[in-house]
Amino acid sequence: MIITRKIRMVMIQGALRQMLCNKIMSITFINQVSGTARIPKAVLLDLFKRTEKLYKKKIREKSISVIFVSENESKKLNSKYRNKAYATNVLSFESFSNDELGDIIICPAVARKQAKDMDVGFVWWLSFLFTHGLLHLIGFDHKTKKQEIKMDDLTKKIICE
């Protein structure tokens, strides 16, 4: 996938790479942000598995990359791909490959600020953003209020299962 290759080419040295695999799928976690609190990879993997149970045909035998980026990198990507000149919490890039679902880009710094502003836990909000990004990769969107409500409800259902 083009975005995956471009992002991997600009990885900072010492990026955390951990592959969690089973016969169904694989998730690659890449942390480009030094000094970031520990990323709850086991929680995110569990959320992936919960989503996979609901959408087996769309997810089965697919791989994804979850990349944690700085505010500066988030702003660059958001500007380049969405024409928005600010750092965002999560971006999803669908793959057009048969074996890749795509990439989920998360900015922990933005997520932490938002979690504090909303008075929710950082891990809960990170879980929400990851699941939200994953739902985008399997075809959900929120261009209308009705779609937004449906997607938010589904995200919460998966997290709270």
Query: Are the C-beta atoms of 63 and 19 separated by less than 8 Å?
Result: no
Mean pLDDT across 58-67: 84
Is the pLDDT at 136 greater than 90, yes or no?
Answer: yes
SS3 content of the chain, % helix, strand, coil (to 5): 50, 20, 30
Q: Chain-wide mean pLDDT for the chain?
A: 83
pLDDT of residue 55: 85
Lookup result for tokens 């997607």: 151
Mean pLDDT across 23-52: 82
Is the pLDDT at 6 greater than 60, yes or no?
Answer: no
Nearest to 82 by CA among 36, 136, 158: 136
Instruction: Collect all residues with Cβ–Cβ distance below 8 Å to 61 and sequence separation of at least 6.
Output: 24, 25, 99
Question: Which pLDDT band, with edges at 50, 70 and 90, does 161 fall under?
Answer: confident
Mean pLDDT across 75-94: 96
**Greatest CA separation for the chain:** 43
- Among 38-42, 56-60, 93-97, 151-155, the range scoring the smallest mean pLDDT is 56-60
Choose from 21-25, 58-62, 72-76 the range with maximum mean pLDDT. 72-76
Q: To the nearest whole percent, how much of the chain has pLDDT over 70?
A: 83
Domains and CATH numbers, the chain: 2-160 (3.40.390.30)
Question: Which pLDDT band, with edges at 50, 70 and 90, does 36 fall under?
Answer: low
Is the pLDDT at 60 greater than 80, yes or no?
Answer: no
Return d(Cα 29, Cα 44) in angstroms, integer.
10
Is the pLDDT at 126 greater than 90, yes or no?
Answer: yes
Choose from 24-28, 35-39, 47-51 the range with maximum mean pLDDT. 47-51
